[in-house]
Chain A
Amino acid sequence: MSVITYRQALRDTLRAEMLRDENVFVMGEEIGVFEGSYKITEGLLKEFGEKRVRDTPIAEEGFVGAAVGSAMLGLRPVVELMTINFSLIAIDQIVNHAAKVYGMFGGQTPVPMVIRTPGGGGQQLGATHSQNIELYYSFVPGLKVLAPSTPADAASMFRAAVRDDDPVLFLENLGLYNTKGEVPEGDESVAEIGRAKVTREGTDITLIGYSRMAMVAGQVAERLAEQGISVEVVDLRSLRPLDRETVVESVRKTSCAVICEDDWLTYGIGAEIAASIQEGAFDYLDAPVRRVAMAEVPMPYAKPLETAALPSVESITTAVKETLDAVGRRVG
């Protein structure tokens, strides 16, 4: 085991995949000479050269579409979008092309590509640079959307994404890049796409999250354990396909659920999870499913406002306690 950051796990895995398969190449804004806005591609230009580490103009639609076209001819592009906010400029190519080419032409040509992009608020980046809009892509059949929360998952899921023959939106998070975790030395494991994971077992209540929120959910569980509350944590990991079974199975066991999400509540990913729970675990629910989500405002810049708008360990803990109170388990 070695303990490395999420950033390091991605960088190492990307490099290894490029060494493994010469069809794998990376492109995006500022990924070569500048070595990436978040330094995931650090050192790659020097090692692999301009052909395989391609700096693009600021033209998301153009270069994401070019990645789709190159994938149609069998290359395996890994595109970096500086943040998920900029994906909106490329959304036609992602939704109308990457996601459609395989099905719309009767399964003739797969599109093996990965779009890596970080979401995440909390960095005082303001309204247009703090959004979590993975929902837009999670909505679309034909795409696969992955959102790892730990360095080990980042590595094994990225490996899976690169080797998959479908377009994968690989969601990273600014708040996770510096987090550390154990990654087995020489690990070559390839995660199975479409599977959630119970990252902590518990009996009193299920906490559901993904990406940064899966990490925060774990922190909440840790804190509540000290008060004698046994929290089960489900990390969704894959937003499409969505592993409803694992979520529902957990809620059938605990009878209570709180969903933590870094996106807006109305129509958000938590809404889909809550709907799935009511359908799959209706007769097991002892309390209404709660969602802890971002305040529904354009993200403000000022720190106190931003902090207030984001879900936190405290706000999730409150929701958990209120839910448990409702079923007769008074907490702290």
Chain B
Amino acid sequence: MSEIYMPRLSDTMEEGVISSWAKNVGDKVASGDVLVEIETDKAVMEYEAYEDGYLVKQFVSAGDTVPIGAVIGFIGETPDAEAPEPGGAPAAPAASEPEAAPAEEKAAEPAPAPAAGEGAAGAEGPARPRTSPLARRLAKEYGLDIDAIEGSGPKGRIVRADVEAARDRAASGAPEAAAAAPAAAAPAAQAGSEDPRASEELKVSQMRKTIARRMAESKQEAPHFYLRRTIDAEPLKAFRAQINEQLADTGVKVSFNDLIVKAAATTLSAHPEVNRSWEDGRLLQHHRVNVGVAVAIDEGLVVPVLHGTDKATLSDISTRTRELAGKARDGKLKPQDMSGGTFSVSNLGMFGIDSFSAVINTPESAILAVGAMKPTPVVHEGEVAVRNTIALELSVDHRAVDGAVGAAFLKDLAEVLESPMRIIL
């Protein structure tokens, strides 16, 4: 005949407790009779029947709590009337599913504004780039030209991540990866070709400007010193072969560079005094080890950063490096992919370079330059033998790291590479 619901008896009530039933199952009920006492959030209240009949079912016992709208009992016409099982969901106010007609479709998204630095529509010179206040402050702090940074925020707003990426790129000497592909805008070469002896001024890309400024800054401000060590690469070669054999099924192939990157990270963990930066007169100790890996691309060179290199497995490093290199070549690196490095590895071995001295990617305090692996006559176990070697050269910022400290690091790194099982242990 009719269900009895948990009533809403106070304006803040959400659920109620059956304090006690005033009628037992089978009792005759008249409209106005007290059926049940309900404890709300405020008080115990009597709840009366709205109609005559018999209480045929109590679905909720005294002491139990149920939400407003839950069926708690049933009144039937006869004492033995059948009480239907209460439906699944309580008939609570349907607050959650507003059925209002949707407002008319939003107007189409406004067309994106021109990217920052591309100049305003008018002829009055370049528009001021959109920047967040934080980005502007950081750019000033890092000595960066805010106009030279491309923003990744809404409508090209330059945000912190962009500035930090620009700083890191500048420090590594890598060109502006995301700079609007200058390929299309060919240098104005045709014009001044009358005098074949005359030098020709090329259009300087923002990328080139940044490299020029940051490399000059690094060499002028960071007193570099250089440490060299040649390692016996035979064990490394064997180790690599062994690993790749094991990884054959996975499609992952670990390169020598991956091994060197991981070895550098492992050694950095043991030598935190090298994992430091000298910034604005402050010496910062980094607790994370993020190794940047130089990647050659058509426009120049970028240094994507492998965050948490010390914690990553070799296959991780291998996969992520390839991924980042791919993104770099496609111009799809995000600012955060290039920021936060604490150490860099630059490898020119593929060009057959014996060894070289790299410019430090400030504010990092060291960069490892890796030469080509080549067979070399060496003294091995007391005899002259021909073995594969690799020349390593570490450039160190003397403001943050002293000679002996750097030397100890390089010594350990060499030993790790010569007993490569230590790379992964």
Direct A–B touching, Cβ under 8 Å: yes
Given A39-B43, A307-B95, are A327 and B153 also a contact pair (CB < 8 Å)? yes
The answer on a CB contact under 8 Å between B41 and A286 is no
**How far, in angstroms, from A325 to B14 measured CA to CA in the complex?**
37
**How far, in angstroms, from A85 to B136 measured CA to CA in the complex?**
45
The answer on a CB contact under 8 Å between A286 and B98 is no
**How far, in angstroms, from A39 to B43 measured CA to CA in the complex?**
8
Whose C-beta in chain A lies nearest to the C-beta of B136?
A283
Number of chain A interface residues as a range: 20 to 34
Given A39-B43, A303-B93, A328-B153, are A123 and B98 also a contact pair (CB < 8 Å)? no
The answer on a CB contact under 8 Å between B11 and A303 is no
Minimal beta-carbon separation of A276 from chain B (angstroms): 15
The answer on a CB contact under 8 Å between A178 and B161 is no
A88 at the interface (CB under 8 A from B): no
From A175, A287, A307, contact of B98 by CB (8 A): A307
Interface secondary structure of B, over-half rule = loop
B220 at the interface (CB under 8 A from A): no
The answer on a CB contact under 8 Å between A286 and B14 is no
Which residues on B sit within 8 Å (CB–CB) of A125? 11
From A123, A304, A307, A327, contact of B12 by CB (8 A): A123
Minimal beta-carbon separation of B382 from chain A (angstroms): 57
B334 at the interface (CB under 8 A from A): yes
Which residues on B sit within 8 Å (CB–CB) of A325? 154
Given A307-B95, A328-B335, are A284 and B134 also a contact pair (CB < 8 Å)? yes
Chain A 19-53 interface residues, beta-carbon cutoff 8 Å to B: 35, 38-39, 42
Given A283-B137, A285-B134, A287-B132, are A178 and B41 also a contact pair (CB < 8 Å)? yes
From B11, B99, B153, B161, contact of A304 by CB (8 A): B99
Which residues on B sit within 8 Å (CB–CB) of A305? 98, 100
**How far, in angstroms, from A255 to B136 measured CA to CA in the complex?**
13
B94 at the interface (CB under 8 A from A): yes
Given A39-B42, A283-B134, A284-B134, are A178 and B14 also a contact pair (CB < 8 Å)? yes
Minimal beta-carbon separation of B39 from chain A (angstroms): 12
Whose C-beta in chain A lies nearest to the C-beta of B15?
A178
Whose C-beta in chain B lies nearest to the C-beta of A175?
B12
**How far, in angstroms, from A302 to B95 measured CA to CA in the complex?**
9
Most-contacted residue by chain A among B98, B134, B154 (CB, 10 A): B134
**How far, in angstroms, from A328 to B157 measured CA to CA in the complex?**
10
Given A328-B161, A328-B334, are A284 and B98 also a contact pair (CB < 8 Å)? no
Interface secondary structure of A, over-half rule = loop
Chain A 166-183 interface residues, beta-carbon cutoff 8 Å to B: 174-175, 177-178
Chain B 318-368 interface residues, beta-carbon cutoff 8 Å to A: 334-336
Which residues on A sit within 8 Å (CB–CB) of B41? 5, 7, 39, 177-178
The contact string, 1 if C-beta is below 8 Å from chain A, for chain B 140-174, is: 00000000000011100101111000000000000
The answer on a CB contact under 8 Å between B160 and A255 is yes
The contact string, 1 if C-beta is below 8 Å from chain A, for chain B 118-149, is: 00000000000000111111000000000000
The answer on a CB contact under 8 Å between B43 and A326 is no
**How far, in angstroms, from A175 to B11 measured CA to CA in the complex?**
10
A308 at the interface (CB under 8 A from B): yes
**How far, in angstroms, from A125 to B157 measured CA to CA in the complex?**
44
**How far, in angstroms, from A9 to B258 measured CA to CA in the complex?**
61
Which residues on B sit within 8 Å (CB–CB) of A308? 98, 100
A139 at the interface (CB under 8 A from B): no
The answer on a CB contact under 8 Å between A303 and B95 is yes
The answer on a CB contact under 8 Å between B12 and A38 is yes
Which residues on B sit within 8 Å (CB–CB) of A327? 132, 153, 159-161
Which residues on A sit within 8 Å (CB–CB) of B94? 303-304
Minimal beta-carbon separation of A268 from chain B (angstroms): 23
Given A303-B93, A304-B100, A326-B159, are A286 and B11 also a contact pair (CB < 8 Å)? no
Which residues on A sit within 8 Å (CB–CB) of B95? 303-304, 307
**How far, in angstroms, from A32 to B205 measured CA to CA in the complex?**
80
**How far, in angstroms, from A326 to B162 measured CA to CA in the complex?**
12
From A123, A287, A328, contact of B152 by CB (8 A): A328
**How far, in angstroms, from A186 to B133 measured CA to CA in the complex?**
48
**How far, in angstroms, from A226 to B119 measured CA to CA in the complex?**
42
The answer on a CB contact under 8 Å between A283 and B133 is yes
**How far, in angstroms, from A327 to B151 measured CA to CA in the complex?**
10
From B133, B159, B335, B336, contact of A284 by CB (8 A): B133
Which residues on A sit within 8 Å (CB–CB) of B160? 255, 286, 327
Minimal beta-carbon separation of A158 from chain B (angstroms): 19
A282 at the interface (CB under 8 A from B): yes
The answer on a CB contact under 8 Å between A174 and B11 is yes
Whose C-beta in chain A lies nearest to the C-beta of B134?
A286
**How far, in angstroms, from A174 to B13 measured CA to CA in the complex?**
10
Minimal beta-carbon separation of B42 from chain A (angstroms): 4
**How far, in angstroms, from A38 to B162 measured CA to CA in the complex?**
53
Which residues on B sit within 8 Å (CB–CB) of A328? 152-153, 159, 161-162, 334-336
Whose C-beta in chain A lies nearest to the C-beta of B93?
A303
Minimal beta-carbon separation of B403 from chain A (angstroms): 37
**How far, in angstroms, from A175 to B95 measured CA to CA in the complex?**
15
Chain B 1-42 interface residues, beta-carbon cutoff 8 Å to A: 11-12, 14, 41-42
Whose C-beta in chain A lies nearest to the C-beta of B40?
A39
Which residues on B sit within 8 Å (CB–CB) of A255? 132, 134, 160
Whose C-beta in chain B lies nearest to the C-beta of A304?
B98
**How far, in angstroms, from A175 to B153 measured CA to CA in the complex?**
37
Sample 23 A-B pairs with CB under 8 A, ordered by A number: A123-B11, A125-B11, A174-B11, A178-B14, A255-B160, A283-B136, A284-B133, A285-B132, A285-B133, A285-B134, A286-B133, A286-B134, A286-B135, A287-B153, A303-B98, A304-B95, A305-B98, A307-B98, A325-B154, A326-B157, A328-B161, A328-B162, A328-B336
B binding-site residues for A, Cβ under 8 Å: 11-12, 14, 41-43, 93-100, 132-137, 152-154, 157, 159-162, 334-336
3 tightest Cβ-Cβ pairs between the two chains A and B: A304-B98, A39-B42, A283-B137
A binding-site residues for B, Cβ under 8 Å: 5, 7, 35, 38-39, 42, 123, 125, 174-175, 177-178, 255, 282-287, 303-305, 307-308, 325-328
Starting from the known contacts A286-B135, A327-B161, A328-B335, 14 additional A-B residue pairs (CB-CB under 8 Å) come to: A5-B41, A35-B43, A125-B11, A178-B41, A255-B132, A283-B136, A285-B134, A286-B134, A304-B98, A304-B99, A327-B160, A328-B159, A328-B161, A328-B336
